[in-house]
Structure 1
Amino acid sequence: MAAAYDDRDGKIWMDGKLVEWRDAKVHILTHALHYASSVFEGERCYNGKIFKGHEHSKRLLRSGELLDMPIPYSAEEIDAAKEAVLKANGWDNAYIRALAWRGAGEDMGVASKRNPVRLAVAAWEWGNYYGDAKMKGAKLDIAKWRRPDPATIPSEAKAAGLYMICTMSKHAAEAKGCSDAMMLDYRGYVAEATGANIFFVKDGEVHTPLADCFLNGLTRQTVIQMLKDMQIKVHERHIMPDELESFEQCWLTGTAAEVTPVGSIGDYTFEVGDLAKRVVAEYERLVRA
């Protein structure tokens, strides 16, 4: 069993320099800890190359802008920090977490303009997010919590505070013996899983929820383009929950999830079919090219 995430050997990049893993700490009055002023990225490195690393760095900066939290580094500087972490730890295959947050400073209320925006990059070796689900298909619950109206949150940001209901939904799913949960949006349409986008197959065509109130994942975008290149029709649209009965296959996409087939969502079952297997294989080929 791997050591706890606060007690490992290695290096983490913080605010411009590499520090010992166990010394990568923040103060208890860090603004982000109290008011969720934090954004992050999850990325994977395959055979020494971070997949879409620069796109992730640019999205991190955009997330900071959406939270009125300008990050004091360029995308190129963030790219370099990620490479430094991988080199310092000697990893060619790893998961990378870049995190920006409002630190401790002169403000300790909701407003925090005088507090510094800090940046850290950590990485670790991480296998399949859903274990053996790539062969058998993941088992999903249907969450009671819904993705909110984008008029209430910056849904285009990958912000830590937006994951609170995801954590609760995943905990509830795991208590039922599931790997994850599918969430609906505020209107009752199918949205996504707690940390991954979702796709369905019907009559050889692919259907995926329209990303109008949740994060349009980089892996989602990659897979949509991959399907189009394979001459497979993709429908980005609103999907009602009762449509799940008519779908034949299903899979999840995300940096952590990669492409993971789904075997069931609540009482609905799906086959791990030829198209799902093909997308898994094509994505694996692409990221390791």
Structure 2
Amino acid sequence: MAAYDDRDGVIWMDGELVNWRDAKVHVLTHAMHYASSVFEGERAYNGKIFKSREHSERLIASAEALDMPMPYTVDEIEAAKEETLKASGLQDAYVRAVVWRGSGDDMGVASAKNPVRMAIAIWGWGAYYGDAKMKGAKLDIAEYKRPSPETIPVHAKAAGLYMICTISKHKAEAKGCSDALFLDWRGYVAEATGANIFFVKDGEVHTPLADCFLNGITRQTVIQMLKDQGITVHERRIQPEEMEGFEQCWLTGTAAEVTPVGEIGPYTFEVGDLTRQIAEDYEALVRS
């Protein structure tokens, strides 16, 4: 496919649809220099954005956490996403809504005088991990750790929080891995670079307590699906050495959907029945 700045189509930007190639910002945009940006990743299935309103609500919450007053309400964001999806002509698509501090009177750390801007882009995007969705992803263990909530707004989906994700995923891919697993600042298992993680042992599911990283909408959906099926789910702090005793593992996220994991560092997992079943159930849910 063409580079992301050189495609046909339109992007919703500050209240109107503009030509894809014309959706540009100035080099002195505050977000480019100080990471004053938040975003959402969403998927549309059969022409409908899954959990759309929850994503719009989280986008506003993330902006508020970064002290950026949102120029749009949830209803206005919903209408903008629907307009953009319709204009894209796509039924199955990835939806990226982004909010950022633009260029204005301020160019230091403070940016209260600068306008808060918003854009929505939609494109076709297949399996995030490629064929790993069938055979199981291979994960490296990242050298960086997820920070304490006392150091940064960890529950915002903020661009700055992904800096260590990019570094860690690059290093993982250089080793032939699909992704990297983060521990948190205390040494507990946290998440992958853009997805939450689940483990299975003796028919029960274990997932890290989301106390220092984003509590993903897909994560919450899968937990409820499991509980509805009568499967016990433990949300708790997990020591890395516990991975040796887990039988199955999967990742969840809007981009990842439900992706099985076959390896994390020295630990191996089977792509078992529960993993396959929850992946199939999730696929059925988003297309229902």
State the TM-score bracket (shorter-chain normalisation).
Answer: over 0.9
Partner of 1:20: 19
> Which whole-Å CA distance do the structure 2 matches of 1:136 and 1:115 have between them?
47
Return the offset for 1:11. Answer: 0.3
Deviations 1:66-87 (A, max 9, x none): 0000111001111111111111
Residue 266 (structure 2) pairs with residue 248 (structure 1): no
CA distance in 2, matches of 1:134, 1:40: 25
1:112 counterpart = 2:104: no
Give 3-state SS (helix, strand or coil) of 1:256's partner: coil
Give the structure 1 partner of residue 168 of structure 2: 169
Secondary structure at 2:157's aligned position in 1? Answer: coil
Letter in 2 for 1:273: G
Equivalent residue number for residue 221 of structure 1 = 220
With normalisation by structure 1, the TM-score equals 0.99
Partner in structure 2 of residue 124 of structure 1? 123
Partner of 1:264: 263
Alignment RMSD (CA, Å) = 0.4
My pick for the range that moved more, 83-92 or 196-205, is: 83-92
Output one character per residue of 1:69-126: Cα deviation in whole Å (capped at 9) or x when no partner.
0111001111111111111110111000000000000001000000000000001000
Partner Cα separation in structure 1 for residue 228 and residue 278 of structure 2:
12
- Following superposition, the deviation at residue 278 of structure 1 comes to 0.3
Letter in 1 for 2:201: K
2:208 equivalent in structure 1? 209
Rounded Cα–Cα distance in structure 2 between residues aligned with 1:35 and 1:134: 35
Structure-2 separation of matches of 1:125 and 1:28: 28
Alignment of 1:56-71 (within 5 A): 56-71=55-70
- Give aligned pairs, total: 288
Q: Report the residue type matching 2:183 in the other structure.
A: L
Quote how far apart the aligned CAs of 1:248 are: 0.1
Please give the alpha-carbon distance, in whole angstroms, between the structure 2 residues aligned to 1:83 and 1:91. 11
Could you tell me which amino acid in structure 2 is paired with residue 268 of structure 1? Answer: Y
The CA distance in 2 between the partners of 1:95 and 1:206, in whole Å, is 28
Cα deviation, residue 243, structure 1:
0.3
Unaligned runs of 5+ residues in structure 2 are none
Shift of 1:133: 1.1
Deviations 1:155-188 (A, max 9, x none): 1100000000000000000000000000000000
**Paired residue for 2:233?**
234
- State the percentage of identical aligned residues: 76
Secondary structure, counterpart of 1:41 in structure 2: strand
Q: CA deviation at 1:146?
A: 0.4
Bigger drift between 183-192 and 129-138 goes to: 129-138
CA distance in structure 2 between the partners assigned to 1:135 and 1:107 by the alignment = 49
Which residue type is aligned with residue 261 of structure 1?
P
| Deviation, structure 1 residue 267 | 1.1
Partner of 1:286: 285
Distance 1:157 1:53 in 2: 17
- Name the aligned partner's letter for residue 194 of structure 1: T
Tell me which residue corresponds to 1:44: 43
SS at match of 1:152: coil
Name the SS of the counterpart of 2:126 in structure 1: coil
Give per-residue Cα distances to partners, 1:235-281, cap 9 Å, x unaligned: 00000000000000000000000000000001110000000000000
Deviation at 1:135, TM superposition (A): 1.2
Question: Corresponding residue for 2:87?
Answer: 88
Trace 1:144-223 onto structure 2 (pairs within 5 A): 144-223=143-222
AA aligned to 1:121 is I
Please state whether the residue corresponding to 2:69 is helix, strand or coil.
coil
Q: One-letter code of the match for 1:29?
A: L
In the alignment, which residue of structure 2 is the partner of 1:7?
Answer: 6
Once residues 86 and 287 of structure 1 are traced to their aligned partners in structure 2, the CA distance between those partners, rounded to angstroms, is: 16
Code of the aligned partner of 1:7:
D
Q: Distance in 1 between matches of 2:89 and 2:47?
A: 10
